[in-house]
C-alpha cells in the first residue's frame, strides 16, 4: 500500500502576499487540497493542475463539514498515496484545530507536517500600525478564544483582566464578537472602562473594517458599526498608538 502524507498549511489572514514561500510550495505540490471556508480563493489558485480541491467549510453560525469527516478524508487520501494539504486560515496551531488533527493523523500512522501561517491577531494590529508588544506598554500577549465548544470551560475573563492589568499584557480575542457583551462585562471587573480596544474585521483583506474604542464601549461600538465575524478584538494600551500611526500613515485608518 502506497503511503502519502498530510501537511497542515497556514494560509495566513487572507492577503495572498502574506503567504509564506514554504506554504506556497506545499500548495503547488499537493494532489489533494482540503480548503477551509475563510481561505482566500487567490491562494487556492496556486494549486497545480494535478490537485483535487475539496472545500471543507467550517465557520461559526453556518453549516460546517464535520471534523470527524475531514479527519477520515485526510487519513484515507494519505493511505492511497496522495500528497494531502489541509489549507487553513491563519495558523494551524492557533485556534485552527491543528493540534487535534495532528494527534489523529499520528495515531493513524500517517506522516504529518505543519507549515505555519501569519495569524489574524497579529495581522489585525499590524494593519493599524501598532504592535502586540511594546517595552513601555505591553510586556506580553495572550491569545484567547471567545467561543468554546459545547461543554468546554470558557476563559476566566475576570482573572485574565486582573493578570493583564498587573502584568501589562495585550489580550487578543478570536471569535468573540457574538459574546462581546459578556466578555466586556467580565473584563471590566479587572480593567478600567477606558482601556483601549480595537475591533478588526477581515484583517488584511481589501474589505477590512475596524473601529477603535474603549472597553466600556466595546459591545455598543460593535453594534453601532455593524462589525461581524470574522473579527479580532484587541484589548490593551498598545492600541493607544493607533491615532499616532494614523497621523503618520493616513491609509492606516481605512485599511
pLDDT tens profile 21-30 = 999 999 999 9
What share of the chain in percent tops pLDDT 90?
Answer: 84
- Catalytic hit among 36, 74, 88, 91: 36
pLDDT band at 119 (very low <50, low <70, confident <90, very high): very high
Q: How far apart are CA 146 and CA 125, in angstroms?
A: 18
Least confident segment among 179-188, 229-238, 240-249: 240-249
Instruction: Report yes or no: 95 and 149 within 8 Å, Cβ to Cβ.
Output: no
The domains located in the chain, with CATH, are 5-115 (3.40.1010.10), 120-254 (3.30.950.10)
- Catalytic hit among 15, 74, 91, 175: 175
Q: How far apart are CA 8 and CA 5, in angstroms?
A: 10
Q: What's the pLDDT at 63?
A: 63
pLDDT band at 38 (very low <50, low <70, confident <90, very high): confident
Give 155: exposed, middle or buried? Use CB within 10 Å, 0-12, 13-18, 19+: middle
Q: What's the pLDDT at 145?
A: 93
Q: What would the mean pLDDT of 160-186 be, rounded to a whole number?
A: 96
Residue 74 known to be catalytic: no
pLDDT digits (tens, 9 = 90+) for 95-118: 989 999 999 999 999 999 999 999
Q: Which tops the pLDDT comparison, 3 or 5?
A: 5
Does the pLDDT value for residue 198 go beyond 70? Answer: yes
Does the pLDDT value for residue 148 go beyond 80? Answer: no
Strands 140-145 and 169-174: parallel
Q: In the predicted model, what is the mean pLDDT of the chain?
A: 91
Q: What would the mean pLDDT of 140-166 be, rounded to a whole number?
A: 89
DSSP letter, residue 12: B
Q: How far apart are CA 164 and CA 191, in angstroms?
A: 8
Q: How far apart are CA 230 and CA 174, in angstroms?
A: 8
Q: How far apart are CA 147 and CA 126, in angstroms?
A: 24
Q: What would the mean pLDDT of 4-8 be, rounded to a whole number?
A: 97
pLDDT band at 147 (very low <50, low <70, confident <90, very high): confident
- Catalytic hit among 58, 74, 88, 91: 58
Q: What's the pLDDT at 64?
A: 74
pTM of the model: 0.90
Q: How far apart are CA 236 and CA 191, in angstroms?
A: 9
Instruction: Report yes or no: 196 and 138 within 8 Å, Cβ to Cβ.
Output: no
Q: In which element (H, E) is residue 21 found? A: helix 21-29
Residue found under cell 500548495: 27
Instruction: Report yes or no: 195 and 214 within 8 Å, Cβ to Cβ.
Output: yes
Does the pLDDT value for residue 223 go beyond 60? Answer: yes
Q: Which of 207, 217, 230 is nearest to 187 (CA)?
A: 217
Q: What's the pLDDT at 6?
A: 98
Q: Which of 49, 57, 51 is nearest to 7 (CA)?
A: 51
DSSP annotation string for 123-144: HHHHHTT--S-BTTTBSEEEEE
DSSP letter, residue 18: G
Residue 22 known to be catalytic: no
Residue 58 known to be catalytic: yes
Strand stretches in 134-230, DSSP E: 140-145, 169-174, 196-201, 209-214
Amino acid at each position: 500500500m502506497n503511503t502519502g502524507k498530510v501537511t497542515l498549511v497556514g494560509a495566513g489572514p487572507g492577503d495572498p502576499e502574506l503567504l509564506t514561500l514554504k506554504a506556497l510550495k506545499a500548495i503547488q505540490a499537493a494532489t489533494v487540497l482540503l480548503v477551509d471556508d475563510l481561505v482566500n480563493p487567490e491562494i487556492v489558485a496556486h494549486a497545480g493542475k494535478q490537485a483535487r480541491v475539496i472545500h471543507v467549510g467550517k465557520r461559526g453560525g453556518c453549516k460546517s463539514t464535520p471534523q470527524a469527516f475531514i479527519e477520515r478524508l485526510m487519513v484515507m487520501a494519505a493511505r492511497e498515496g496522495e500528497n494531502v494539504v489541509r489549507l487553513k486560515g491563519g495558523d494551524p496551531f492557533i485556534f485552527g484545530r491543528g493540534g487535534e488533527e495532528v494527534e489523529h493523523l499520528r495515531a493513524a500512522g500517517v506522516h504529518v507536517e505543519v507549515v505555519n501561517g501569519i495569524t489574524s491577531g497579529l495581522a489585525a494590529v499590524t494593519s493599524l500600525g501598532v504592535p502586540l508588544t511594546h517595552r513601555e506598554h505591553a510586556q506580553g500577549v495572550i491569545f484567547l478564544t471567545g467561543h468554546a465548544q459545547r461543554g468546554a470551560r470558557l476563559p476566566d475573563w475576570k482573572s485574565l483582566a486582573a493578570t493583564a492589568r498587573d502584568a501589562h499584557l495585550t489580550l487578543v480575542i478570536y471569535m468573540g464578537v457574538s459574546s462581546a457583551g459578556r466578555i466586556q462585562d467580565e473584563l471590566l471587573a479587572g480593567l478600567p472602562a477606558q482601556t483601549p480596544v480595537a475591533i478588526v474585521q477581515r484583517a488584511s483583506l481589501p474589505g477590512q473594517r475596524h473601529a477603535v474604542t474603549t472597553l466600556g464601549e466595546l459591545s455598543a461600538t460593535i453594534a453601532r458599526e455593524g462589525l461581524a465575524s470574522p473579527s479580532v478584538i484587541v484589548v490593551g494600551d498598545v492600541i493607544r498608538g493607533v491615532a499616532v500611526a494614523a497621523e503618520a500613515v493616513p491609509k492606516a485608518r481605512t485599511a
